[in-house]
Chain A
Amino acid sequence: MNQQEKLDQVLNEGMDRLFNGESIDRILADYPDLAAELEPLLRTVQNSRALARVQPRTEFKSRARYEFMTAIREKETRSKRRFTFNWRWQSPWAIALASILVVVLAGGGTLFASGYSMPGEALYAVKLTAEKAQLAVTFSDVTRAELNAKYAERRIAEIEYLATQGNADQIQIAAANLNYNLNNMSRISLGDYEATMSDEPPTANALMFNTESASVPGEEVSASSETTAQTTEAVTGGGAATFEADQASPELMRKAVVPDQSTETPVTPMAAPAAQPAVSAMEQAPSPDDVSTTLTPHIMVLNEPEPQIYTTAQDEDGSSPELTEKERIRRIIEENYQERQARLLAVLENAKPELRQAIKQAIAASEFEYWKAIRNLEMNPDP
C-alpha cells in the first residue's frame, strides 16, 4: 500500500469513526504520522454535518406518503383483479368459509390501509371509527390527550395534502374533525371527559367552526349573549362578519358564529384567569383576511397563556421533575399546539385563494380550542 492509498484508507476509517461520534483529537491520536494531512480533511467532514440534517418539507412528506399509500392500494386492487375464482365448482359451505376468512384476514389490512385514507375516500370513515374506538377503550386522561394530539396531527396532514389538491370542501371536513379532536382535549383538560363527551361522531358542518364554550364548574349557565359574542369575535380575530359572509354555506356559518344560547355555557373574560388581558389582545388581532399578509407564525397566537415552567425542588437537585397529571396534559396540549399552528400557517401561506377561508377557519378554531383547554386547566388545578 503506497502513501496515497494509506491516506485514503485512514481518511475512510476516520470518517466512519467521526460518524459514530468519536472526536477528531482521539482519531488523530491513532495516526500521529498522518495527523497533519488528516486533520483538515476530518474538520471539513465534521463541519459539513448540516447535510445530514436536511429534512424534506412536512407538506411534501404528507403528500408523498399519501400518494405512496394510494399506489400500494392500486397495486393490491390490480393483483386482486387478476385473481380468478371459479365459484361454480365450490360448495356453498366452502364459499361461506372462504368469505369469512377473507373478511377476517383482510380486516387488519383494511384497517391499516384506512390509516392513510383522506376525507372523501371510502376508508376515511373506517379511519375515524378506529380512532374513536381507540379513545373509547382508553381510560387515562393523559393517554386520551396523547391520542387526541396524535389524531389532530393526522388532521393537519390531511389538510396539508388536501390543500395541494385544491379541495376546499374536503379541507372543511378535515378541519371539522380536527376541531373534534381539539375539543376532546379541552374536555379532558376540564377533568370531566366522560361526563361531557358526546357519543356522536363529528359532523363536518356542525363542527366547522365550533365556538361552543367549555363549561366551567362553578359558573352559572346564564348566558350573556354579549360576552359570548365578544369572545367569539375575539377568537376569530374580529372576523365573525367574514365567516357569516361565507356564501358557500350561510346556514352553517350562521350556526357557527351565533351559538345556541339554550345550551351554551358562556365564557366570560372575567371567569378565566388569563382571559382578561388576553381578550384585549385578541380584540386587537388582525382580521382573518389579513392573515396572509400580516401573520408570522406567532401573530395568530391571539391568546397564548403564559408559558408554564415546570420547575420543582427536584429540578434544582438535578433530578427529573415529577409532573402532575394536569401538568402532563398541559405539556401535551402546548407541544401539539405550537407545531399545529406553524403547519396550518404554512399551509395558509401557500394556499390558493379559494382554499384560504377553510384554512383560516381551521386556524381560528384551533386557536380557540387551545385557549379553552389552557383556561380549563388553570381553572381546575390539581388539588
Chain B
Amino acid sequence: MQDEISLVRRAQKNDSQALSELYEAYFDRIYRYVAMRVRNEMEAEDLTQQVFMKMLQSISGYKSQGVPFSSWIYRIAHNQVVDFLRQKNKKTTVDIDGLALQDTHDDPQSLVEKEYDVLELKKAMQNLTASQQEVLALRFTGEIPIAQCAEIMGKSEGAIKALQHSAVQALRRALAGNK
C-alpha cells in the first residue's frame, strides 16, 4: 500500500514511469469491471481507455485522505459506465421479478462441478439490476472489499452487503434459468 501511495505521488508529478506502472497495475482489472457492465467488447475497450485518459487528466487532483487509489480509479470507471449507459439510453436490466424463475434445487454434484463460462455469466448478469451488476462486477472481477465498494457506489456498507446478497441470489436464479 505504501508503495502505491508513493507511486501515486510520483504520478501526480507527471512521472511517466509511475503513471505507466499504475496503468499496468489496473488496466486488466478495470477492463474486466467495464466488460461486465456493458455488453459489447468494443464498448468495453473504448470505455477502459477513457478511464485511463481521465485518470491521466485528473490524477493531480487526487487526495489520498483515507480513500485508496483503487477506490478512486474504480469511481472513475463507475462514472464512465453510468454516463455511457445513460447516454446510450440502454435498458441494461430486467426486473428480477419478471424472470421466469425456475426451481433452483440443482443436483448437488453438478452444482459443485459446474463452472460457468463467461458468456453464460454475462447473459445471466443481464437479468440483474444495474446496482446488482455493479456490486458483482466490483466483487468478482476486482475482488474489491465491501468498504471500498461502498465508497465507489456511494452507499453504506450495510446497503452494499444487502445488495450483494440479493445479487448473488439473482445470479443463481438467472443461471438456473439459462440452463
Count of A-B residue pairs with CB < 8 Å: 123
Interface check B84, CB cutoff 8 A: no
Do A54 and B165 touch (CB < 8 A)? no
- Given contacts A8-B162, A12-B146, A40-B111, A56 and B121 within 8 Å (CB-CB): no
Q: On chain A, which size bracket covers the interface?
A: 35 or more
Do A113 and B172 touch (CB < 8 A)? no
Do A48 and B121 touch (CB < 8 A)? yes
Do A68 and B118 touch (CB < 8 A)? no
Q: Which of A70-78, A216-224, A335-343 contacts B (4 or more CB under 8 A)?
A: A70-78
Contacts of B146 in A (CB 8 A): 12
Do B169 and A41 touch (CB < 8 A)? yes
| Chain B residue at minimum C-beta to C-beta distance from A79 | B14
| Partner among B23, B117, B161, B169 whose Cβ is within 8 Å of the Cβ of A65 | B23
Q: On chain B, which size bracket covers the interface?
A: 35 or more
Which residues of B in the span 92-128 have a Cβ within 8 Å of any Cβ on A?
104, 106, 111-112, 114-118, 121
| Chain B residue at minimum C-beta to C-beta distance from A40 | B172
Q: What's the Cα separation between A15 and B139 when bound, in Å?
A: 9
Interface check B53, CB cutoff 8 A: yes
Q: Mark B148-168, 1 if CB is under 8 A from A, else 0.
A: 000000000010011011001
Do B16 and A76 touch (CB < 8 A)? yes
Q: What's the Cα separation between A186 and B35 when bound, in Å?
A: 41
Q: Mark A72-109, 1 if CB is under 8 A from B, else 0.
A: 11011001000000000000000000000000000001
**Interchain nearest-CB distance for B149 vs A (Å):** 10
**Interchain nearest-CB distance for B135 vs A (Å):** 11
Q: Is the interface of A mostly helix, strand, loop or mixed?
A: helix
- Given contacts A51-B32, A75-B56, A43 and B118 within 8 Å (CB-CB): no
Do A61 and B27 touch (CB < 8 A)? yes
Do B111 and A43 touch (CB < 8 A)? yes
Q: What's the Cα separation between A67 and B56 when bound, in Å?
A: 12
**Interchain nearest-CB distance for A64 vs B (Å):** 5
Do B165 and A71 touch (CB < 8 A)? no
Contacts of B114 in A (CB 8 A): 47
Do A16 and B145 touch (CB < 8 A)? yes
Q: What's the Cα separation between A309 and B45 when bound, in Å?
A: 39
Do A72 and B53 touch (CB < 8 A)? no
Do B161 and A9 touch (CB < 8 A)? yes
Q: What's the Cα separation between A146 and B67 when bound, in Å?
A: 40
Which residues of B in the span 18-54 have a Cβ within 8 Å of any Cβ on A?
19-20, 23, 27-28, 31-32, 35-36, 41, 45, 48-49, 52-53
Q: What's the Cα separation between A16 and B161 when bound, in Å?
A: 12
Contacts of A41 in B (CB 8 A): 165, 168-169, 172
**Interchain nearest-CB distance for B122 vs A (Å):** 8
Interface check B17, CB cutoff 8 A: yes
Interface check B141, CB cutoff 8 A: yes
Q: What's the Cα separation between A30 and B167 when bound, in Å?
A: 23
Q: What's the Cα separation between A54 and B118 when bound, in Å?
A: 8
**Interchain nearest-CB distance for B136 vs A (Å):** 8
- Given contacts A40-B104, A47-B116, A69 and B121 within 8 Å (CB-CB): no
Known: A11-B161, A47-B114, A50-B121. 9 other contacts (CB 8 A): A5-B158, A5-B162, A8-B158, A51-B32, A53-B118, A54-B31, A54-B32, A55-B28, A68-B20
B residues lining the A interface (CB < 8 Å) = 14, 16-17, 19-20, 23, 27-28, 31-32, 35-36, 41, 45, 48-49, 52-53, 56, 104, 106, 111-112, 114-118, 121, 136, 139-141, 143, 145-146, 158, 161-162, 164-165, 168-169, 171-172, 175
